[in-house]
């Protein structure tokens, strides 16, 4: 019999009222606290709103999509942001990109490519859960150093979902096997985004800030960046698999009953979609030449899928997990508000000085934890942009290597503790195979332990290659 992790019971009206009341008390309490001089009134109100939203998300008192919309309305109601600024991030280029990337997953599934990918993966890795999951974790992490982690996640998540459905494991039934894989894929993908400069916008951004901070004297090239960061990705891949294996290892030894039939020659729709995918990847790689945002080739791809009739746009919309996309929009909106209101800077000014005078390992870990914390509430690029202008001067005062602090930022902002933290986790969440509570139970220890892996790597590996003394 399949291992059951938990089955979600319908919430009673009494429990909903209690949770909502606790959230409101928390929020009002934060807003009524004496306001520090370096915190703006808007920033304090935002921290109160964050307390409400995060509690409702974590407790799942009401549907998270409804809470997400409440966060946008709350920004306006509490006069933290004007209406235009509060809702604009829901249609920002990053959020629209995620919308289209999730649509890619629907397309892959509907035309049969997801089934074909899974067939070939099982043919290579076998159906033994341990071997398959280890290969999957390393594959997701290493490919995410080059491709966007959301792309890798959407391909693998939608390849695995039909397998679990064929095994009779429906979303929301609490089966541990899909829970394990649906958490492994996004976390392993997210753990690899810092490996090369192609892995995410936060990577070149960190180097740009370092260059400006040092007035052009400190630069790190493309190949040097790979030498410094990529080997650590291998460790994060194995560590991600090991942590999840210990925390939520499924009892199943094999994907029993999975007999995917040979899909045979590719159908016209599969070939057409694959060609559009390849062309879209080429356009993404040429982004520096074209100057196009990631969302532009993605929109062209949707047109390429639907134009020839390989899939209808109505089918994509009918199958699309809208709630997850709205939640991601709310996360971006709150992140922008943290920057605009000064709440993020206030947190940095309060927390980071606590590290002064502490042993180097504590300083690195503390800075890394702060980066992960910020990245859980906003995009990782925004977190890097917020923390480096504060941590780099700190590094100089504490006679630390500014290069190491700059290179640590894209690394540690890859590890998040909330579902809203990055597109890969939102995509996996959209399958319905895990709740936010399930995610937090795994993501928090995963984040804390990967920070240990990264700090140890920085202290051992970086001196070995002569990057820092």
Three-state SS string across 421-454, please?
HCHHHHHHHCCCCCCHHHHHHHHHHHHHHHHHHH
Give every CB contact of residue 26 below 8 A, 6+ residues apart in sequence.
48, 51, 52, 55
The pLDDT score that the predictor gives to residue 1 is 45
| Residue 353 DSSP code | G
Among the listed ranges 80-94, 382-396, 448-462, which one has the minimum average pLDDT value? Answer: 382-396
Let me know: does 352 contact 366? Beta carbons within 8 Å. Answer: yes
How sure is the predictor about 9, in pLDDT bands with cuts at 50, 70 and 90?
low
Long-range contacts made by residues 75-84, C-beta under 8 angstroms, separation at least 24?
Answer: 75/46, 75/49, 75/333, 75/334, 75/337, 78/45, 78/46, 78/48, 78/49, 79/42, 79/45, 80/42, 80/45, 80/46, 80/49, 80/337, 80/341, 81/42, 81/336, 81/337, 81/340, 81/341
pLDDT confidence tier of residue 8, bands split at 50, 70 and 90: low
* Buried/exposed 338-362: b ≥16 CB within 10 Å, e otherwise: bebbbbbbbbbeebbeebeeeeeee
Segment 208-217, tens digit of pLDDT: 788 877 877 8
CB count within 10 Å of CB 233 equals: 25
Q: Is-contact 334 376, C-beta < 8 A?
A: no
Q: For residues 139 and 181, what is the distance between their CA atoms, to the nearest angstrom?
A: 13
Between CA 119 and CA 127 the distance in angstroms is 10
Question: What is the predicted pLDDT for the residue at 269?
Answer: 92
Task: Return the pLDDT at 60.
Answer: 75
CA–CA dist 329, 71 (Å, integer): 10
How does residue 78 score in pLDDT terms, banded at 50, 70 and 90? very high
How far apart (Å, rounded) are the C-alpha atoms in residues 121 and 135? 10
Q: pLDDT value at position 3?
A: 57
Check residue 311 and report its DSSP letter: S
Output the furthest CA–CA distance in the chain (Å, rounded).
68
CA 38 to centroid of chain Cα atoms: 30
The residue among 43 and 435 whose pLDDT is bigger is 43
- pLDDT given at position 184: 94
């Amino acid at each position: 019999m399949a291992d059951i992790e938990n089955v979600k019971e319908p919430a009673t009206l009494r429990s909903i009222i209690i949770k909502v009341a606790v959230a409101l008390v928390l929020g009002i309490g934060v807003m009524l606290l004496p306001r520090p001089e370096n915190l703006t009134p808007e920033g304090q109100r935002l921290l109160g709103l964050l307390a409400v939203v995060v509690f409702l998300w974590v407790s799942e008192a009401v549907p998270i999509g409804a809470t997400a919309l409440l966060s946008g309305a709350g920004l306006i109601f509490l006069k933290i942001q004007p209406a235009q600024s509060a809702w604009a991030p829901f249609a920002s280029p990053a959020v629209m990109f995620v919308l289209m990337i999730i649509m890619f997953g629907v397309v892959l599934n509907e035309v049969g490519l997801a089934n074909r990918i899974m067939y070939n993966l099982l043919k290579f890795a076998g159906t033994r859960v341990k071997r398959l999951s280890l290969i999957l974790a390393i594959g997701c992490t290493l490919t995410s150093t080059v491709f966007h982690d959301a792309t890798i996640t959407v391909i693998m998540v939608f390849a695995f979902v039909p397998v679990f459905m064929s095994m009779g494991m429906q979303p929301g039934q609490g089966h541990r096997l899909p829970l394990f894989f649906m958490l492994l894929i996004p976390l392993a993908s997210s753990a690899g985004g810092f490996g090369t400069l192609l892995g995410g916008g936060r990577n070149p951004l960190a180097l740009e800030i370092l260059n400006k901070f040092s007035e052009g004297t400190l630069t790190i090239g493309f190949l040097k960046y790979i030498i410094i960061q990529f080997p650590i990705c291998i460790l994060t891949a194995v560590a991600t698999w090991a942590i999840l294996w210990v925390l939520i290892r499924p009892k199943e030894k094999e994907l029993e009953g999975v007999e995917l039939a040979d899909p045979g020659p590719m159908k016209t729709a599969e070939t057409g979609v694959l060609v559009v995918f390849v062309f879209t990847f080429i356009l993404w790689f040429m982004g520096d030449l074209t100057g196009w945002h990631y969302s532009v080739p993605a929109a062209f791809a949707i047109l390429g899928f639907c134009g020839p009739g390989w899939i209808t746009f109505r089918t994509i919309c009918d199958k699309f997990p809208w709630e997850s996309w709205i939640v991601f929009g709310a996360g971006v909106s709150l992140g922008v508000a943290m920057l605009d209101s000064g709440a993020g800077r206030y947190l940095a000014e309060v927390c980071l000085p606590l590290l002064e005078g502490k042993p180097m390992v504590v300083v690195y870990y503390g800075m890394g934890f702060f980066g992960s914390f910020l990245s859980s509430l906003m995009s990782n690029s925004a977190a890097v942009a917020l923390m480096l202008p504060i941590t780099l001067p700190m590094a100089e005062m504490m006679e630390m290597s500014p290069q190491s602090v700059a290179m640590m930022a894209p690394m540690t902002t890859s590890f998040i503790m909330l579902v809203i933290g990055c597109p890969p986790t939102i995509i996996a969440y959209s399958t319905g195979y895990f709740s936010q509570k399930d995610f937090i139970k795994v993501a928090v220890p995963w984040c804390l332990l990967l920070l240990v892996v990264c700090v140890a790597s920085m202290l051992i590996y970086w001196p070995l290659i002569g990057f820092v003394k």
